[in-house]
């Protein structure tokens, strides 16, 4: 992605589900990239729980320097494993969902509750096909996402991306730098890039504080991270950098919200700015999230906690034990 080329596989999945008796909802999230949702109405839906099974059809890109033994999009079998780009993440999971549906229908099993299968796009690059299903009104009492997993019942951490922007109220020529950094220069100015470096150091301090003070069962210590991913700044070598932008990616635990985490970062950086004479007058600006990492260059992935005692989790656990 964003190749915008999933219509072929999504049309195939829509036809498959239709043949299995599902009603089909297929719509473009982006041109050439549709979501497909199939609904199999239950025989007694009013009195029984509904279930969503979900998977994505996009895969990670293949870079030129990747050392593939065979062409990545021509799968092969090796030592009992299927090898190819997306075999695990997550064409294999999608195949399992579709095969389960096929077995249920071939066995003549009538489900009392509604079954909703969601085949979504954009999950590899933060384009949130699943979120678009939610916005379209699809809900259920329980959901199973057949993506890769280590089979722990522990919930899902969240991710938020955002920009921190610094912009000087004035633009200075490179020749004035001496007046900014030496005694008696008399020019109140600074490089936005150098000030952003101070903010990056502050983010590192906050990240270390989080790793010490926060934890969540089943997650490795320090899973909550603040990554300074992309930096942009300056206009030309002949000028003092009058603006700088930092794109950060923040991972947080299942019991936190993106609003809470963003507020903690803003509070910490604002306190740091209070201690800096220039940043007090040229305050950092924060912009969080968006609907696509590609088009908006920002995204929010909410965290969620999973109750180990939930009836759906219990049923899934018992079923897994039987099959295993």
Domains by residue range for the chain, with CATH? 7-153+307-323 (3.40.630.10), 158-301 (3.30.70.360)
Cα distance from N-terminal residue to C-terminal residue, the chain: 35
CA dihedral 275, 278, 280, 282 (to 10 degrees): -150
Active site residues: 58, 123
3-state secondary structure of 158: strand
Give dist(CA 120, CA 127) in Å, integer. 10
**Which residue numbers in the chain have pLDDT < 50?**
none
Count of CB atoms situated within 10 Å of the CB of 286: 16
Enumerate residues 6+ apart whose C-beta is below 8 A from 16.
Answer: 98
Enumerate residues 6+ apart whose C-beta is below 8 A from 180.
Answer: 172, 187, 188, 189, 190, 240
Residues shown for the chain: 324
Give dist(CA 299, CA 161) in Å, integer. 6
DSSP notation for 63-124: -TT---SS-TTS-EEETTEEESTTIIIIIHHHHHHHHHHHHHHHTTPPPSS-EEEEEE--TT
CA dihedral 272, 273, 276, 282 (to 10 degrees): 170
Q: What's the maximum distance between 2 C-alpha atoms anywhere in the chain?
A: 88
Q: Do residues 105 and 20 lie in contact, with contact meaning Cβ atoms separated by under 8 Å? A: yes
Name which of 292, 240, 250 is nearest 126 in CA terms: 292
Confidence (pLDDT) at 191:
96
Confidence (pLDDT) at 11:
98
Confidence (pLDDT) at 125:
75
Confidence (pLDDT) at 297:
65
Alpha carbon separation from 114 to 22, 110, 278 (Å, rounded): 10, 10, 60
φ, ψ for residue 22 (rounded to 5)? Answer: -85, 145
Give dist(CA 11, CA 34) in Å, integer. 9
Confidence (pLDDT) at 221:
92
Enumerate residues 6+ apart whose C-beta is below 8 A from 283.
Answer: 270, 273
> pTM to 2 decimals?
0.80
Question: What ranges in the chain are assigned the alpha helix state H?
Answer: 7-19, 92-106, 129-135, 177-181, 192-213, 258-274, 277-281, 311-323
Q: Do residues 55 and 120 lie in contact, with contact meaning Cβ atoms separated by under 8 Å? A: yes
Give dist(CA 250, CA 258) in Å, integer. 9
Q: Do residues 123 and 159 lie in contact, with contact meaning Cβ atoms separated by under 8 Å? A: no
């Amino acid at each position: 992605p964003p190749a915008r080329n999933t219509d072929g596989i999504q049309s195939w999945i829509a036809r498959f589900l239709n043949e299995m008796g599902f009603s089909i909802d297929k719509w473009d999230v982006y041109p050439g990239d549709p979501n497909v949702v199939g609904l199999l109405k239950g025989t007694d839906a009013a009195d029984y729980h509904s279930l969503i099974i979900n998977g994505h059809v996009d895969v990670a890109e293949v870079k030129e320097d990747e050392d593939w033994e065979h062409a990545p999009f021509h799968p092969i079998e090796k030592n009992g494993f299927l090898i190819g780009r997306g075999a695990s993440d997550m064409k294999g999971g999608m195949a399992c969902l579709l095969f389960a549906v096929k077995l249920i229908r071939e066995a003549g099993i009538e489900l009392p509750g509604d079954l909703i299968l969601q085949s979504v796009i954009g999950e590899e690059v933060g384009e949130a096909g699943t979120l678009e299903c939610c916005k379209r009104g699809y809900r259920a009492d329980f959901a199973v996402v057949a993506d890769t997993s280590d089979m722990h019942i522990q919930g899902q951490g969240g991710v938020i991306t955002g920009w921190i922007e610094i912009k000087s109220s004035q633009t200075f020529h490179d020749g004035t730098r001496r007046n900014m950094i030496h005694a008696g220069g008399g020019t109140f100015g600074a490089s936005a890039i150098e000030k952003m470096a101070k903010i990056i150091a502050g983010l590192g301090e906050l990240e270390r504080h989080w790793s010490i003070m926060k934890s969540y069962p089943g997650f490795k210590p320090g899973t909550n991270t603040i990554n300074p991913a992309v930096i942009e700044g300056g206009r030309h070598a002949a000028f003092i950098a009058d603006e700088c932008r930092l794109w950060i990616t923040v991972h947080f635990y299942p019991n936190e919200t993106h609003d809470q985490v963003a507020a903690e970062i803003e509070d910490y950086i604002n306190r740091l700015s209070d201690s800096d004479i220039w940043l007090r007058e040229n305050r950092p600006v924060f912009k969080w999230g968006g609907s696509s990492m590609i088009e908006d260059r920002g995204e929010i992935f909410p965290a969620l906690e999973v109750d180990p005692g939930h009836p759906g989790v219990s049923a899934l656990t018992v079923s897994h034990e039987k099959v295993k």
